Chains A and B, each alone.
Chain A
Amino acid sequence: MSPLSGYLLLSALLFSLGLSGALTRRNAILVLIGIELMLNAANLNFIAFWRYGPHPEMLTGVMFVIFSIGIAAAEAAVGLSIIVAAYRHFRTTDLDKINFLKG
């Protein structure tokens, strides 16, 4: 097994873990955590391909990850504030109970 496939396998494992969390958890914050984990698994792929890929001097993978981290931060901030706003309305963060289209 080459070093690259080791990183890819780790990334796939982290992605599946994040997916399982996002699918099975009922607390909205923990679902968001699962999504963050999936994003980070993708980031690891970019860095691994940059490291072992053909044109590392172009820094494409590194740049992609930097922007991805920025977007993940924005996503976490907006997502958590939506959860807090929803909590204020429904008095719960349980996704099964937040099921009205009209608040």
Chain B
Amino acid sequence: MTLSFLLLAAIAILGAAAAMNLKSAVHCVLALTLGMVGLAALYLQLGAQFVGLTQLLVYVGAVAILAVFAIMLTRSRTGETVAHGSASSRISGALTALLVFAVLAWAIFTGVSPQPLSGAQPEASVREVGVALMQRFVLPLEIIGVLLTAALVGAGVLAIEEKGGDR
């Protein structure tokens, strides 16, 4: 429990909580981005430099921008603010989430680690990550390449405006 962990965890929780509770959709996306930056910093703190920077690149540079573009494209006439669901659905949703958290926390506190935790800071240099990607994980890498290409084409096809269709 170092100070840096507490600080970064506070940033991540603050961002996530704000993203789930703010009224304006754009504010939610910006808050989510703050949370993602906090998570990326946590990855860096844990020694996973490549993953942390990838997280920053993908979530701040791509997903947040995509989300705000989608919000801009789907603005309702009343503005960007969005209401929550009805009171009953809000309460039941919050209760479910609380229950899930309680179960997870109970599991974390009562669970016992089979081996002693390793204390040494492991190194995940870019070279090692690259070698692993090209040797042991080459098949998943290719599959994810195909998946991303399919997603690119699919997203384009879905979002493109049909010319002759009835609106």
What range describes how many residues of A lie at the interface?
35 or more
A40-98 contacts to B (CB < 8 Å): 40, 43-44, 47-48, 50-54, 56-57, 59, 62-63, 65-67, 69-78, 80-85, 87-88, 91-93, 96
B interface SS class: helix
**Most-contacted residue by chain B among A14, A82, A91, A92 (CB, 10 A):** A14
Q: Determine whether the beta carbon of B132 is less than 8 Å from that of A63.
A: yes
Q: Are A85 and B159 in contact (CB under 8 A)?
A: yes
Verify if B7 is at the interface (C-beta below 8 Å from A): no
A8, B42: Cα distance in complex, Å: 12
Contact A54 B129 (CB under 8 A): no
Q: Give Cα A80 to B29, complex, Å.
A: 13
Contacts A24-B94, A63-B132, A80-B66; A47 near B48 (Cβ below 8 A): yes
* Interface mask (B56-69 → A, CB under 8 Å = 1, otherwise 0): 00110011001101
Chain B hits for A27, CB < 8 A: 25, 82
A40 to chain B, nearest CB (A): 6
Q: Within 8 Å CB of A16, what residues of B?
A: 97-98, 100-101, 104
Q: Inside 8 A of A1's CB, which chain B residues have their CB?
A: 1
Known: A27-B82, A69-B58, A84-B73. A77 touches B13 (CB 8 A): no
Contact, CB under 8 Å: B20 / A50: no
Whole-angstrom distance between the Cβ of A37 and the nearest chain B Cβ: 6
Tell me, rounded to whole Å, the shortest Cβ–Cβ distance linking B55 to chain A. Answer: 6
Given contacts A20-B94, A24-B94, contact A12 B29 (CB under 8 A): no
Contacts of A21 in B (CB 8 A): 19-20
With A51-B122, A66-B54 known, 9 other A-B pairs at CB within 8 A are A17-B13, A18-B20, A23-B92, A24-B93, A29-B25, A36-B63, A63-B137, A69-B54, A81-B156
13 contacts between A and B (CB under 8 A): A1-B1, A3-B5, A12-B101, A12-B108, A17-B97, A19-B97, A19-B100, A24-B90, A26-B84, A27-B25, A43-B39, A51-B46, A59-B128
**CB-based closest 3 A-B pairs:** A56-B122, A23-B93, A20-B97
